[in-house]
Structure 1
Amino acid sequence: MIQDTQDRRVRRTRMRLQQAMLELLKEKDARSITVRELTQRADVNRGTFYAHYKDVFDLLDQMEQDLFQRLTQLLSSYSTQDLQRGLTPLLTDVFRFVRDDPVLRLAFLDQRTQDSFFRRLDQLIYEKCQEDWQGLFLPVDQQLWGCCLDFLVSGAVGLARGWMVRGFQEEPEQVAQLANRLILNGLSLS
C-alpha cells in the first residue's frame, strides 16, 4: 500500500513536470528553460525535480523515450497477419498518434531537435519493418529489401512531416488511405 501511494505521487510529480515543460516549450526554446521556472510552473521544489531528473534536457530525453516506447507499443500491437488484411488500420492509428501526441508535436516545432527526432523515428520504423513486416511485400533479395525499406520509411515519415507542416488539415484516416495507396501502388493512384 505504501509503495502504491509513493508510485502514484512519483507519477503525479513527473506528470506535472512534463506538463510544465510542454507549456514552457510553447513559449520558448528548450535551451532557455531553467529548472527554476520549470519547478515554479509545476509547483514542485527544485530538490524534487533533481530527485527525478539531472537537468532540463534529461527531462526532455525521458519524455522522448516515453514517446518512442508508446509508439513502439502501437506498432507492435499489429501482427503480420493483421497487416496482411490491410495497412490502413495501422497507418490510421499512427497518424492519429502523430496528430494527438503533444510531445511529438513540440519536438517537431523545435528546429534543433527536429532532425535527430525524425532520424530516430525513421530508425524505429525501419527496424520494425525489417524485423516483422518483410513478409508483407514481394520477395526481394536482402540488398533490394534495404532499398525498399529506405524508400518506404522516408516516404511515410515525410508524409507525416508534411501533414504536420500543413497543420493537420486532412483527417488521419485520409492520410492513412493515401499512404496505403502509395505504399501498395506507388504513384499510380488509380
Structure 2
Amino acid sequence: MDLNEDKRIVRTRKILRGVFLELIMEKGLDYVTVKELTERAGLNRGTFYLHYKDIDDFYEQYSVDILEGYRKVIKKLGLSRNTQGPFIEPPYGYIKPFEYVIEHGEFFKCFMGPNGDPSFSVKLRELIREQLHHSFQSRRGQMIEVSVKQQYVFSYISSAYVGTLEFWISQGMNISSKNISILFTEISQLGSSNLDF
C-alpha cells in the first residue's frame, strides 16, 4: 500500500466517522444505515465494504480506536496516597484523560449521551478499573493478588469517574479539563462532605 492510498483511507475514515456522529445525533445509533451513511458522506457503498463488514463492524472499529487512545492517556491514572488538601495543581497525567474527551468530544457526546451505546460506558469503566488495578500492582513492584475490598474500591472509583465524565459531557464540558480533574480528585480523596459548596 503506497502513501497516497494510506492518505485516502485515512481521509475516507475521517469523513465516514464525522457523518456517522452527525447521524447518531439526529437519529440514534440503532437507526443509522450504510446506505444513508455513504450517501451523506458522498462515497459509494463499495468503498465502505472494502474496509467494513457492516455498520456494526464500522462502529466497533471506531469505538476500539477511541478506547485504545484513551487507554494510552490514562497510563498515569492511579490511586494517590496524598490526601493533604487543597488539591490545586493536578499532575498532567490526571488532566490528559479529560483533554482526550474534549479532543474527541463529538464521539463521547454521542456514545455517552441519551442516543448512544450504554455498552461503551461499561467498556470505559472496565478499562479504567483495569488501569487502577495495574497502577496498584505496579506501585508495589510485583503482581500481587488484589483483595476483595480493593476490587470494590477500583469498581467504585471507575464508576464514579465514568459518572463524572457523563455528567460533565451532558453539561457541555462547562468546566476546564484542569478544573474537572481537580474536582474529581478532591471528591475521590476527601469525600463530598469535605468540599466547600
TM-score (normalised: structure 1): 0.83
Q: Which residue pairs with 2:167 in the alignment?
A: 162
67-76 or 158-167, which deviates more: 158-167
Unaligned 5+ segments in structure 1 are none
Pick the structure with more helix per residue.
1
Q: Aligned residue pairs: how many? A: 183
Shift of 1:88: 4.3
Taking the aligned partners of 2:102 and 2:46, their CA distance within structure 1 comes to 34
Partner of 2:2: 3
Match of 2:191 in 1: 186
Q: 1:91 is matched with which residue: 83, 88, 94?
A: 94
Identical-residue share of aligned pairs (%): 26
* Residue pairs, 1:1-190, within 5 angstroms: 3-76=2-75, 78=76, 88-101=91-104, 102-111=106-115, 113=117, 115-134=118-137, 142-187=147-192, 188-189=194-195
Q: Is the 8 A contact 1:35 1:56 kept in 2?
A: yes
Q: Structure 2: how far apart are the matches of 1:147 and 1:84?
A: 17
Structure 2 contact 24–115 (Cα < 8 Å) conserved: no
Structure 1 moving runs of 4+ over 6 Å: 83-86
Q: Could you say if the C-alpha distance between residues 119 and 79 of structure 1 is closer, same or farther in structure 2, counting changes exceeding 3 Å?
A: closer
| In structure 2, C-alpha distance between the alignment counterparts of 1:16 and 1:134, rounded to whole Å | 41
CA contact (8 A) 1:20 1:38 kept: yes
Q: Give per-residue Cα distances to partners, 1:77-125, cap 9 Å, x unaligned.
A: x387xx7898542232212222331212110224461x21111111000
Structure 2, unaligned runs of 5 or more: 83-88, 141-145
Alignment TM-score, normalising by the size of structure 2: 0.81
